[in-house]
Amino acid sequence: MAEPMTASGVSGEAPAFAVRGLGKHFGGIHACREIELEFRAGEVLAILGENGAGKSTTVKCLHGLYQPDEGQVEVSGRAVHFRSPRDAEAAGISMIPQELDLFPDLSIAENLFLGQKRPRRPWGGFDQRAMNRQAREVMAALGVDVDVTAPVKTFSAATGRLVEIARALNRDARLIIMDEPTAALTEKETENLFEVIRRLKAAGVSIIYITHRLNECFTISDRIVVMRDGRLIRSGPAEEFTIGSLVDAMVGRPLETLYSRHSRPIGDVVFEVRGLTLGNVFSNVDFEVRSGEVLGVSGLIGSGRSEMAQAIYGIAPADRGEIIVDRKSVDVRSVSDALASGIAYLPEERRSQGLILPFTIAANMSLSVLALFSRLGFVNRKLEDGFASESARRFTVTGAALSSPVENLSGGNQQKVLIAKVLALDPKVVILDEPTRGVDVGAKSEVYRIIDDLAARNKAIVVISSEMNEVMSISDRIIVMHEGRISGRFTRDEFSQQAIGAAAAGQRLHHAA
């Protein structure tokens, strides 16, 4: 048997933390095996891989949520056994999950002391002033000046992320695991988080950074580890990698094969928006989409992109303007109006806005067309299951039985279930808001294939995306929004990151000839 790959830091003294020969299986399936990792003080190690590659299982063993079946965890060169996350936290390991684990109605200070020993007054009660003072000191160490007595729910997701980091530091964490920390952050908030990570590095804290945003690895990590099928595939200093080599290691095929876009004839105008306006959110939005065409919508978060899409779909109807489908003006005041007009929308947040997580995969797929399988209030399960099976085949949904809760699926497969639900009514116009957010590169490739297939079937498609490479690769034309207005229009031969980025920042206007 080949020697297991080792992802080591600089030679010398024992690493602050390590896993040696780590393996974990569930039933007959090995989630990870022969994992050798070292984490040194003041270093950021990025762990990359598709959903199901073994990343989460590995770090959950490190954090004590799982107990490994093979191998061991080491702290300062000594083998340890964590029976729970509390044991790991006592040893200096904290984990910040992708979904914020905070109590929104409690203050920042109260969240920082959850599960920890609190300062007390001489008579035994909690010393709230001391808690607030310590909370201010910890937040200040991260370069953050906020009111620690205010409820967490009054702050942004970015501040919530910093509160999670502060809570880890309040537990004297020396290794912090960050799982998709920038998934819900703006570009500016992401840069602020990176500055906090740099402060942590300077203080000697080790960071494990898990992300699907590959470009971030080159900004913030010192080393990169790639996992596939539960094993370490490649590791090394960040400067030894490129985006292409990362993708190749993660999915086993070159970057060029990820984007599906075949040449096809573009038909007549199917969908038009004229003068669409909603208060001070967006105004005078005009564009058109032809059959078989993909219109990309770029712009910074907060530019009005998603709000425009939600207005078109009737979630928050526009104050004025016109929506035209097949040359007929339609009055969209509700989601039902949009669906009846042939408009479908895939929301940005699949878990909170698109799926009912405890429901089965089959039930989520058929939810928008339940009337087709119902009579007198009863659902024909055989017809519903047949529809779900065909949808699962068409959109390559894998990972669990159709009778399983959709929450059991990976992020990429959840997204494909949502796409199946959105397309169940065979709409004429398809609006996709951040269709690949939070999914791995393999699942992204599947989503791109689905979009390309929709275009081949003469649908009019609008794709809203924050990823420049994505929107440039799959679009026939691009419009850019800035502060609620269209700030740039580009045909495919005019695409450039510089021009689109400038329009997104509102630095200049560009109009296609």
Distance (Å, rounded) from C-alpha 400 to C-alpha 433? 26
> Do 317 and 454 sit in the same domain of this protein?
yes
How many Å apart are CA 479 and CA 497, to the nearest integer? 13
Contact 81, 123 (CB under 8 A): no
One domain for residues 154 and 275: no
Q: What is the mean pLDDT of residues 488-505?
A: 88
* Burial class for 245, CB neighbours closer than 10 Å (0-12, 13-18, 19+): middle
Taking the CB of residue 471, how many other CB atoms lie within 10 A of it?
22
Q: Which among 170, 181, 131, 105 is positioned nearest to 438, based on CA atoms?
A: 181
pLDDT tens profile 418-470: 888 888 889 999 999 988 877 777 778 888 989 999 999 999 999 999 878 88
Q: How far apart are CA 509 and CA 317, in angstroms?
A: 27
Residue 59, in any domain of the structure? no
Q: Is residue 36 part of a domain?
A: no
Segment 346-380, tens digit of pLDDT: 988 777 777 888 888 888 888 877 777 777 778 78
Q: What is the pLDDT, as a whole number, of residue 38?
A: 92
Query: What pLDDT sits at residue 135?
Result: 87
Q: In this structure, are 331 and 463 located in the same domain? A: yes
Task: Give the pLDDT of residue 512.
Answer: 43
First and final C-alpha spacing in the chain: 62
pLDDT at 5: 45
- Is the confidence at residue 410, as pLDDT, over 80? no
Among 112, 142, 159, the domain boundary falls at: 159
- Give the type of residue at 195: E
* Distance from chain centroid for Cα 184: 7
Count structural domains, the chain: 2
Asked if the structure places residue 339 within a domain, the reply is yes
Q: Do 350 and 470 belong to one domain? A: yes
In a domain, 374, yes or no: no
Residue whose structure tokens are 């919530």: 160
Domain edge (last residue) among 120, 139, 159: 159
**Same domain, yes or no: 155 and 274:** no
Nearest Cα residue to 114 out of 101, 127, 130: 101
Residue 47 lies in a domain: no
Residue 227 is assigned to a structural domain of this protein: no
Q: How confident is the model at residue 123 (pLDDT cuts 50, 70, 90)?
A: confident
Both tokens of 90, joined, read 């006592």
Q: Are residues 274 and 155 in the same domain?
A: no
pLDDT per residue over 261-276, tens digit each?
Answer: 778 889 999 999 999 9
pLDDT at residue 513 greater than cutoff 50: no
Domain boundary among 140, 159, 178: 159
Find the domain containing 111 and state its range: 102-159
Sign for the CA dihedral angle at 307, 309, 314, 315 comes to: negative
Pair (447, 313) in one structural domain: yes
Does 386 fall in a domain?
no
Q: Is residue 314 part of a domain?
A: yes
- Residue 121: both structure tokens together: 């007054």
- The CATH number assigned to the domain holding 304 equals 3.40.50.300
Q: At a CB cut-off of 8 Å and minimum separation 6, what does 447 contact?
A: 412, 415, 416, 419, 435, 436, 439
Q: What is the pTM of this model?
A: 0.64
Q: How far is CA 121 from its chain centroid?
A: 43
